[in-house]
Structure formats: structure tokens, C-alpha cells
Structure 1
């Protein structure tokens, strides 16, 4: 554990790519340009969610990083990938996000310096030079807060959508407050609408929407234990660590 002592912030991002690694490499190159004193305190965890392409990090990657691969084929398993990322995190303070979002160096510095949160904080997004509302797939919280709701419910995995919304609604039900930073904004790229999207998976929430509705009814029933809504599925797949470098 000595090599993790300088880590103040863990950055967790699921990776599913079926075209090329351009989006991942662009993100890494952007972060490699940041000040070394900032990067020394961040651990980047990349979770390859069984991508059809061979996910490898650039040679001589100038970040503290871990790369793990989910070897079980489960479509739309980003919830499971997030659970794995948090499982591997060595710091209390964490950012959970995806490849569509980039954090300015100033936001990293702010999060490193701020105290460990006991609530969840989201970020306004700059998209096409305009301010967009926060997305539930990107937020700042502590590892202990994450597990107040038993992590992301992996019963949603295998189909598109609603696992992130249910995670937030569950957190609200167990008393976690949700705030949006006023001044700390991030950049949103919306790769799904680009000429080279990260993947071509079909977005169909016809399975997850009824599942969410049933679980949400339990959460809203004050006479029910909210934990009745959670399947208890956690790391419901095979995985292995591919590589790690904590050397900054």
C-alpha cells in the first residue's frame, strides 16, 4: 500500500470500444499534459468492459493507472464496470465518469484539495460551447458513500439504461444529498453523435425501464425497506487486472 500513499483522488472510467482506441488515447493524452504535481495525486482506473477490440494503454503512459478487463461477455455492463473500479480504488475520494467527459486540470486540483465528501456532487458540462446540465453518469463522492446503496445494482446489466438513475435515487432514499458544483465545470464530447462513435451498441431501454419502475416504487414506499429494491448482484462476472503503473 505504500505506493498509493500519495493518491488523493481516484478517477474511474468504464471503457467499451468496438471501432478503435482513439477516444481513450485522446483522453489520456489530454491528461498527460497536466502538471506533474497534480497527476502524482490521481489514480486513473480504466475498466475494459469486454471490448471487441484489444484495449491497451499507450506505451510509456505518463499517468498513475490500473487497467482491468471484464472477461465475461455482458452487454451494457457499465454498472458492473463501475463497481469493479470502485472495488479497486485505493483512495476515499473518487470521480466516476465516462469517456465522453474531460476534467480540466483546475477541477482536478479543486477535488484534490477539498475534503472527503459525505454527499454526491455533479458537474455542469460545457458542450458545443454551451453549458449543459449535469449527467448522472459523472459525479464526485467517497468510496464509503458509494457503498451506502450497495454500489450500482447489476440487475440492470445486460440491457441499456436506468442503472445510473436508480443508483442516484437509491442514494437519495438512504439520505445522501445531491449537489451540483456552481463553478467546477467539465467538458462533454458526446462521442455517440460523432462520425467515429466509441461503439455501435443499440440503445433500447424497454427491459430496464419496467425494472426501474418496479424498484422505484419500492423506494417511494415509506413502509418498505429501500434495500428490498436492490438485487445484491455485485461483481457478477469474471475479471482480471491487465496492468498497473503507480510510479509518478
Structure 2
């Protein structure tokens, strides 16, 4: 079990550590002391230790997990002296492996990027994107969810947009819930009906990847059914278009960062 030094003790670290502990990971976490209140809370809840300072953290850690915002990276890496054999795991959005190596001034350091979504703290088999594939990291992170590896860094960048989908979906679910509540269901009933059916459809789509989803939909939305009546309206209104446009916005932002 590696000792993992965690730099950044915000929401990302909280849900990743929680998911790893829930999945049975018993390795040691050393938390950065920069925000001591958050670090001590994480330490208490999830059995971690708060480091005294940078020197002790680096001396004891096998892996370094960077969980900070991109704008915080330059200040942190200026004082981050990694030793040969240490592994850098980055959850810093939009910063490439090459840029991370340059930032820590260590071309020989192995760097792995990850970007799991917040729901992994709560559900089993939540998605954990990893690039590049690295068995030791995958073996540990498998305690937190289902590992998805990618052949290229560009693939990983686009896969990160999937985490945005979950964030958008909560607002979509809420809007549908409110319709059912307005028509007499309790909030608990509305949550069950909406989220339950969406989760069921997603689960079926994952389980039956051999079947085109259009075929599944058409098999349910047969002539004269409620499903058919509603689906025809959604298709006529191009209901998926705003979601695709939102993804295009993210792509343009990604490409502008690379320009």
C-alpha cells in the first residue's frame, strides 16, 4: 500500500479519499497542512494524517496527488522537489503530462492524470478516468470505482467532459422532478421516479453495448404509446442540441488553451 501525499484538501480530495476508503483502501494519506481546518476534518473522518510541513511530506510519500486549481499550480510546483521513484498523480484540469513534468522540473518523474466525478463517494462502480494506463495506480483507484484508461491524452481530455455531464444532469433531474411535484408527487417520490428511471436507462445502455440505443428506444416507443408521443416531440425540438452545444463550448475552451 503506497503512502499518498495529498496537496489540496478541497472537495475533490474529500470525495476521492472517501471513495477509496469505502472501497477498502488502507494505505496512508498524508494531507497538506495549508488549509489546516479542512485537512484535520478529512483526517478525522477518513483516517488520514496531517503533515507537519513539505519536507516531511515529501520524505515519507510514495505518491503525490495534486488536487488543486490550475491557477494554483505554479506556486505549488515551485517548492515541490520530487525525488526519483516518486509518482505524481494529477487531478489538475487541462494541464498535460508534459506541462506537469516541466512544472516540477523532473523529466524522469512518472506522471498519471485522473479525473473521477464527485458521485464516486456515494455509488459503487463510479467512473475513474486515468491517463496513461499504469497498473499500480489502477489497482489502487479500482477501490474507488470503475477504471477507464485511454490511449492518447487527447482522448483523456475529452473524457474529462464526461464529469461535466454529471454536473449538468443534476439540474436536468431537478427540472423533471419539479414537474412531477407540481402534479402531486412528493419530493421523495419524484426523485425516485426521475432519477430511478434515468439510472435504469443508463445501466441498460452500459450493460447492452452490443445494441444501438436508437434500436432500444424505437422498440419501446411503438405506435400509440405515451413514450412515442413524447419522443416525437423531443426529436422535433432537437432536445439534445443544447447539450451538444455545451460540449462544443468546452471543446473550444480546450482548444484555445492549446493554441
Q: Do the structures match in fold with TM over 0.5? A: no
- TM-score, length-normalised on structure 1? 0.30
Higher radius of gyration, 1 or 2: 2
- TM-score, length-normalised on structure 2? 0.29
Greater strand proportion: 1
Greater helix proportion: 2
